[in-house]
């Protein structure tokens, strides 16, 4: 059965009040729609852990750096609702913009430090947009648990920091990246790739796996990076925003593998920015 879609905060609160009264735990999976298997795996993780599951779909204008990116973001609500059918979620919350940012809305949440590097360096204010909308979604849904993909690992760390700093009583759960058969990390942005670009896209993950193997053999990023970047560019990517090894907790820069290290990459392919990260 397709889960009911709720568009207003009042309607959402009426429903969650009933669940709360019954003593049910609530899990939320915040999304911007254009759902793929990665999102569905989050919904399933929520389903397994919580009595009630809400998936939110809101294309958050505050986290886009340019209007054309916001305009071209895929919007596939009916399709998304159908895809969620198999996961057994209880409610899909699709707020209209005024339910999130009503007239006069004037608050911005900034998480310092974690947002200076990686995607934060090339997408100014992006994480302010994320750190502002996510607590609203937590509080509106009154969720006990919130599920995020490790695909957006920096976002996961930013959300964890924000929830801790603001004393929001939610447990943030990170779930593994889901990949296509050829290794490409699933992302709503993959829909924007042309057929030709889609064939080239898995090269990013392939090079990252090779870097991982070299790091585990004792090589340093300083030694590996020039050749690895050249391979990515030769494969057809036009620009590399970053290819860096960082600590998985505080995201500080590393040159060598150590427990908890992660390799992060962002690169442009035919006008589409792809990101990926793997544990090393």
Give the active site residues: 39
Q: Which of 6, 90, 128, 152 binds ligand PAF (CB under 6 A)?
A: 152
Determine the interface stretch with ligand PAF among 28-36, 69-77, 93-101, 251-259 (rule: CB under 6 A). Answer: 28-36
**Cβ-based nearer residue to ligand PAF, 39 or 262:** 39
SS3 assignment, position 269: strand
Contacts with ligand PAF by CB under 6 A: the residue count is: 10
**Cβ-based nearer residue to ligand PAF, 105 or 227:** 105
Whose structure tokens read 């809400």? 54
**Cβ-based nearer residue to ligand PAF, 63 or 141:** 63
14-34: string of b/e by CB count within 10 Å (b at 16+)? ebbeebeeeeeebbbbbbbbb
**Cβ-based nearer residue to ligand PAF, 186 or 254:** 186
Name the residue among 188, 89, 97, 189 with its Cα closest to residue 147. 89
Q: What is the CA radius of gyration of the chain?
A: 19
CA distance 137 to 94: 11
Rule CB under 6 A: say whether 99 interacts with ligand PAF: no
Least distance between ligand PAF and beta carbon 64 (Å)? 10
Tokens of 129: 């947009």
Residue 206's H or E segment, with its range, is: helix 203-216
Determine the interface stretch with ligand PAF among 27-35, 77-85, 200-208, 209-217 (rule: CB under 6 A). Answer: 27-35
Least distance between ligand PAF and beta carbon 56 (Å)? 7
| Helices within 85-183 (DSSP H only) | 97-100, 119-122, 126-141, 153-165
**Cβ-based nearer residue to ligand PAF, 211 or 266:** 266
Contact (Cβ atoms closer than 8 angstroms) between residue 215 and residue 256: yes
Least distance between ligand PAF and beta carbon 185 (Å)? 13
Interaction pattern, residues 29-58, with ligand PAF; x per rule: CB under 6 A? -xxx--------------------------
- Cα dihedral angle (265, 35, 156, 166), rounded to 10 degrees? 150
CA distance 35 to 195: 20
**Cβ-based nearer residue to ligand PAF, 211 or 275:** 275
SS3 assignment, position 60: coil
Rule CB under 6 A: say whether 157 interacts with ligand PAF: no
SS3 assignment, position 103: coil
Contact (Cβ atoms closer than 8 angstroms) between residue 269 and residue 237: yes
Q: Which of 15, 16, 41, 60 binds ligand PAF (CB under 6 A)?
A: 60
Determine the interface stretch with ligand PAF among 47-55, 114-122, 130-138, 268-276 (rule: CB under 6 A). Answer: 130-138
Site for ligand PAF, rule CB under 6 A = 30-32, 60, 63, 130, 133-134, 152, 155
């Amino acid at each position: 059965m397709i889960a009911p879609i709720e568009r207003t905060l009042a309607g959402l609160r009426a429903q969650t009040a009933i669940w709360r009264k019954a003593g049910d735990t609530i899990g939320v999976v915040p999304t911007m729609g254009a759902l793929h298997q990665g999102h569905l795996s989050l919904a399933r993780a929520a389903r397994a852990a919580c009595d009630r599951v809400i998936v939110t779909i809101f294309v958050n204008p505050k986290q886009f750096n340019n209007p054309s990116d916001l305009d071209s973001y895929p919007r596939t609500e009916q399709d998304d609702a159908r895809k969620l059918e198999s996961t057994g979620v209880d409610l899909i919350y699709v707020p209209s913009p005024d339910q999130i940012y009503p007239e006069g809305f004037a608050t911005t949440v900034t998480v310092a430090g974690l947002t200076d590097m990686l995607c934060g360096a090339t997408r100014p204010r992006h994480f302010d947009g994320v750190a502002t909308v996510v607590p609203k979604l937590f509080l509106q849904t009154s969720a006990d648990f919130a599920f995020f993909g490790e695909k957006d690992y920096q976002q996961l760390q930013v959300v964890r920091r924000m929830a801790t700093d603001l004393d929001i009583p939610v447990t943030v759960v990170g779930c593994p990246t889901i990949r296509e058969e050829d290794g490409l990390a699933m992302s709503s942005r993959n829909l924007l790739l042309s057929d030709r670009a889609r064939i080239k896209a898995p090269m990013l993950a392939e090079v990252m796996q090779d870097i991982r193997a070299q790091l585990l053999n004792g090589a340093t990023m300083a030694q590996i990076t020039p050749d690895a970047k050249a391979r990515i560019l030769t494969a057809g990517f036009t620009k590399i925003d970053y290819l860096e090894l960082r600590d998985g907790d505080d995201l500080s820069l590393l040159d060598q593998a150590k427990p908890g290290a992660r390799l992060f990459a962002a690169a442009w392919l035919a006008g589409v920015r792809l990101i990926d990260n793997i544990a090393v």
